[in-house]
Amino acid sequence: MGYQLIDAIAEFMASIDSKPVTTGESPRQLQSILGMQPLPEEGRSADDILSRATELLFNHSLFNGHPRFLGYITAAPAPMGALADLLAAAVNPNVGANILSPIATEIEKQTVQWLAEFIGVSPDYGGLLVSGGNMANFTAFLAARTAKAPKSVKEEGIDNASQRLVVYCAKTTHTWIEKAVILFGLGSKAIHWIPTDSRNRMDNKILEQTIKADFAKGCTPLMVIGTAGDVSTGAVDDLKGIASLCKAYNLWFHIDGAYGIPAAVIPELNHLFEGVAEADSIALDPHKWLYSPLEAGCTLVKNPNHLIDTYSSHPVYYNFSHTDDVPPQNYYEYGFQNSRGFRALKVWLTLQQVGRNGYVKLIGDDIALAQLLFDLAQNHAELDAISHNLSITTLRYVPADLGDNLENSESYLNTLNEGLLNELQRGGRVFLSNAVINTTYCLRGCIVNFRTSKKDIEEIVDIIVSEGRKMHQKLSAQIATVR
Ligand SMILES: *Cc1c(COP(=O)(O)O)cnc(C)c1O
């Protein structure tokens, strides 16, 4: 059965570009395909249930490995990752404790060290693999709170911090920050949102003014979060500038590099990532630009003792601390999880299969394709090219003849592009997502996909234009009827 499944998977991967990106079936349709059977009373033939599961997944999924999937930041998964997950599940090491996962713990340590080298920080950074970017950011956030809040907070709780604890980040910061301040007791007002400049980067001048004003008010600033590749436009904050402000005001410097920081591997882009090596902590997501299958995130901390200070405890029922040589590394002491799977294996194997130079090529290709999408949009009479950073391009459809819609053209274009995106997403020929930049509704393509080619990008542009024309026709007809 295993051999059959592997054959089916190989066939699926080889022919993925001949399928639609998604079938666009509704939850109701899918429920009727799945059926409403109750929990099985008796066991069933493994052969039957595996072939049914294979059939369901291959015929009713959205494929983020499809060459024309450019939505959100969801990568095409490396086939090596699928094999790695199978191997990891078969051996099933519990990477919470060294004694339960002897070689897996060493492999995870090496993976963490390689990831640090990959993005150009000292290999002395320590950390661990987690499920994704949100968890990687949370893990670092609590370590920052432990390090920078008054020492009483860990025992007495947040109430006991006599001064208001605050954190800083740009308006463009991913939604994890809103969960983090609730989760760790600071409250949503603890986020001091900093506006962005004309290139969508945190305005460091306003950042400094805000920090100064907060100190004057008697607040306790804890940390600044810089983003290396924001989710909407891929902009990278001025990390070097943030690093020197953090040094000057004794704040924790965290970088959310979940999407963009792997681009630091490209020598020509080094200037964008200056300051990375000064971060106290960094979140990155191997399940994005390193092409791991879900789930794999990683927290890196300059001084990993901050993780121990935050997360370690020694219950009597654990006999985990004895080995012959150096003290063992027990990953349950580094983060939130206790029992932990071996998600490091897929990252470790893919890093070896592709190598640094392979990633320079793959990530560079993705960036070049995003540039091509931008250029094609810029040169097309019916498209507006709006932004391009890293491998994210935003654009919108603008009909040649806006007709009677001219007076409210901006709001008409927003409605038109939103309708167009919904059509495109359901249609299954291409999958884009959206960005709202200032008040402009944009179509957004993010290429973290080793299968996407130049030809795909050219076809995508044709699809956007032809569907855009249809949507314009439909909407103008509707408006005409109303009038
Ligand atoms: C994707 C992303 C996240 C969230 O990561 P998940 O893996 O989806 O949890 C956070 N920050 C940034 C900048 C991201 O791109």
For residue 287, report the distance from its CA to the centre of ligand 1, in Å: 10
Ligand 1 site, residue 65, Cβ cutoff 6 A: no
Residue spans per domain, the chain = 2-66, 83-354, 359-482
Q: Which atom of ligand 1 has the smallest separation from the CA of 285?
A: 7
Does ligand 1 come within 6 angstroms of the Cβ of 261?
Answer: no
- Domain 359-482: state its class: alpha beta
297 Cβ below 6 A of ligand 1: yes
CATH of 83-354, one of 2.40.160.20, 3.40.640.10, 3.40.30.10, 3.40.50.1480: 3.40.640.10
The finding on whether 130 has its CB within 6 A of some atom of ligand 1 is no
Ligand 1 within 6 A of 203 CB? no
Pocket flag, ligand 1, residue 132 (CB < 6 Å): yes
CA of 398 to the centre of ligand 1 (A): 31
- Residue whose CA is at the smallest distance from ligand 1 atom 8: 133
Instruction: Note the pLDDT tens digit of each residue in 6-42.
Output: 999 999 999 999 999 999 999 999 999 999 899 999 9
Whether 176 is in the pocket of ligand 1, judged by its Cβ within 6 Å, is yes
User: What is the 3 state secondary structure string of 104-152?
Assistant: HHHHHHHHHHHHHHHHCCCCCCEEEEECCHHHHHHHHHHHHHHHHCCCH
State in Å: Cα 256 to ligand 1 middle. Answer: 8
pLDDT digits (tens, 9 = 90+) for 446-464: 999 999 999 999 999 999 9
Q: How far is the CA of 61 from the centre of ligand 1 (A)?
A: 22
List pLDDT tens digits, range 139-198: 999 999 999 999 988 888 887 777 899 999 999 999 999 999 999 999 999 999 999 999
Nearest CA to ligand 1 atom 15: 259
- Residue minimizing CA distance to atom 3 of ligand 1: 133
Q: Give me the average pLDDT of each 10-residue run along the chain (483 residues).
A: 96 97 95 94 96 97 98 97 98 97 97 98 96 98 96 85 90 96 96 96 98 96 98 97 98 98 97 97 98 98 97 83 77 97 98 98 98 98 97 96 74 96 96 95 98 98 98 89 73
Closest ligand 1 atom, residue 72 Cα: 1
pLDDT (0 to 100) of residue 72? 96
In this structure, the residue with its CA closest to atom 12 of ligand 1 is 258
pLDDT in tens, 392-411: 999 999 999 886 666 678 99
pLDDT of residue 434: 97
